[in-house]
Amino acid sequence: MNILFISFDADPPHMGGTATVVNVIAREFQNRGHEVFLGFYTKSEHPSVFFSKKVNLASETEIKSFVERYSIDVIYNTQAIGTNWNILKEYFPNAKIVYAYHNKPLLRYFHLESLLNIFYESNNVFYKFYTLCKIPLLPFWKLRFQRREKIEFQKMYANSDKIQLLSEHFYPNFLKILPDASIKKLVAIGNPIVYNALYPSNKLCDKEKKVIVVCSTNYQKRAYLMVKIWACIENDTRFNDWTFDFVGGGEGFGRILELSRKLNLQRINFVGYQQPLDYYYKGSIFMMTSRYEGWPMVLMEAMQMGVVPVVYDSFESLSDIVTDGFNGFVVQNNKHNIFVEKMKRLMLDDTLRQEMAVHAMESCQRYTIEKIVNRYESLFNNLIKNE
């Protein structure tokens, strides 16, 4: 089987979660004897080394050369927003197309918080004024962006043979956007775990009294809530031996640093973008406060490494990953005080924390790369056979 993965032209760590999943899946397909190819739209500063056969889909010259050499059976497209579907249909007429939507299906728009982050982080007075002038236009932009994105959903639905969502719990969200869509065209496949081994369960007692977060500081992640939650922990003298490592950065990072200074936090360490594995090894508790998620890779990575998650119940696929009180704590969205209580409970009870860590690691085995790619392989084969 020849599979063209449409993603970013990079290898880990120079990519986000979706591209990392593509890389992991493609490697397993290659190990099973299939031919894998990469299609991309934007050139990268760190081109993929793993994908030796690739094509720039923004260049018709490259596409023509590519199709003369290779025949593609399945196109796995993670870049539907902005995809030139006419080009795909023209040059790959016999290929089956699976569009993979690796997030919660919703119509996005530019948020006030993101605009304020731009204002706060700019050193240009005129640009700050220009940014503020945009605020009255946000309702218009919201309507415009959402109309444009709905059109992209319609194109994606019309041109794909199957649409992959990360969980069946996202089906209602998708049908809100396209009410006339057929559920038969949808398929749910979650993301695989990415590390080859679990954290040794016999070393859980060696983990440090450390809370960790691995995330961007953008609108989606609500990083300011993590800082406020940690302030409640740090102000409780029972937890003076606990620390908090914040791995990540990005839009709004300056405002997060300023919030930490205002709260006079002493035991929070902002380490920037790092390979997170060492932090997972040391960490005992993982926080997630996102407004929404698809299937968060960092949550799976943390659980695989025995870091017990405390997560707001803010996205539908969470119930596929975390069972409240068994392999982590699920907190009703925006219930700040309860989130703090669950954190403190884990910190105070070493036995409970280690039991949950074991359950977290064991539950990840439902999503090994072998099991996930078995589902993809079955899906692709059935499409090729028109079943």
pLDDT digits (tens, 9 = 90+) for 123-179: 787 777 778 888 888 888 888 888 888 998 999 999 999 999 999 999 999 999 999
Confidence class for position 387, pLDDT limits 50, 70, 90: low
Highest mean pLDDT among 71-80, 106-115, 278-287: 278-287
Q: What is the mean pLDDT of residues 293-321?
A: 96
How deeply is 343 buried, as exposed, middle or buried, from its count of CB atoms within 10 A (0-12, 13-18, 19+)?
buried
What residue segments make up the domains of the chain, in order of their start? 2-107+149-192+368-384, 201-367
**Considering only 8-22, 84-98, 186-200, 266-280, which range has the smallest mean pLDDT?**
8-22
Identical fold at 2-107+149-192+368-384 and 201-367?
yes
Confidence class for position 45, pLDDT limits 50, 70, 90: confident
Does residue 196 register a pLDDT over 90?
no
Three-state DSSP state, 107: coil
CA dihedral angle for residue 290, residue 292, residue 294, residue 298, rounded to 10 degrees: 0
Other C-beta atoms lying within 10 Å of the C-beta of residue 86: 10
Return the percentage of the chain with pLDDT > 90, whole number: 74
DSSP assignment of 46-69, as one string?
S--SS--SEEETT-HHHHHHHHHH
What pLDDT score does 141 carry? 81
Q: How far apart are CA 105 and CA 150, in angstroms?
A: 11
The closest alpha carbon to 298, from 275, 330, 314, 315, belongs to 275
What pLDDT score does 82 carry? 72
Does residue 109 register a pLDDT over 70?
no
* 333-339 long-range Cβ contacts below 8 angstroms, 24+ apart: 336/225, 336/228, 336/229, 339/229, 339/289, 339/310, 339/312
Confidence class for position 6, pLDDT limits 50, 70, 90: very high
**Over the chain, what is the mean pLDDT?**
92
Fold of 2-107+149-192+368-384: Rossmann fold (3.40.50)
Q: Which of the pair, 6 or 117, is modelled with greater confidence? A: 6
CATH architecture of structural domain 201-367: 3-Layer(aba) Sandwich (3.40)
pLDDT tens for 212-252 read 999 999 889 999 999 999 999 999 999 999 999 999 998 88
What pLDDT score does 368 carry? 94
What pLDDT score does 138 carry? 82
Other C-beta atoms lying within 10 Å of the C-beta of residue 68: 8
- Element holding 311 (H helix, E strand): strand 308-313
Return the percentage of the chain with pLDDT > 70, whole number: 99
Record the tokens describing residue 36, joined without a space: 């894998």
Using alpha carbons only, give the angle 182, 158, 82 rounded to the nearest 5 degrees: 125
Q: What is the mean pLDDT of residues 289-318?
A: 96
Q: How far apart are CA 90 and CA 66, in angstroms?
A: 13
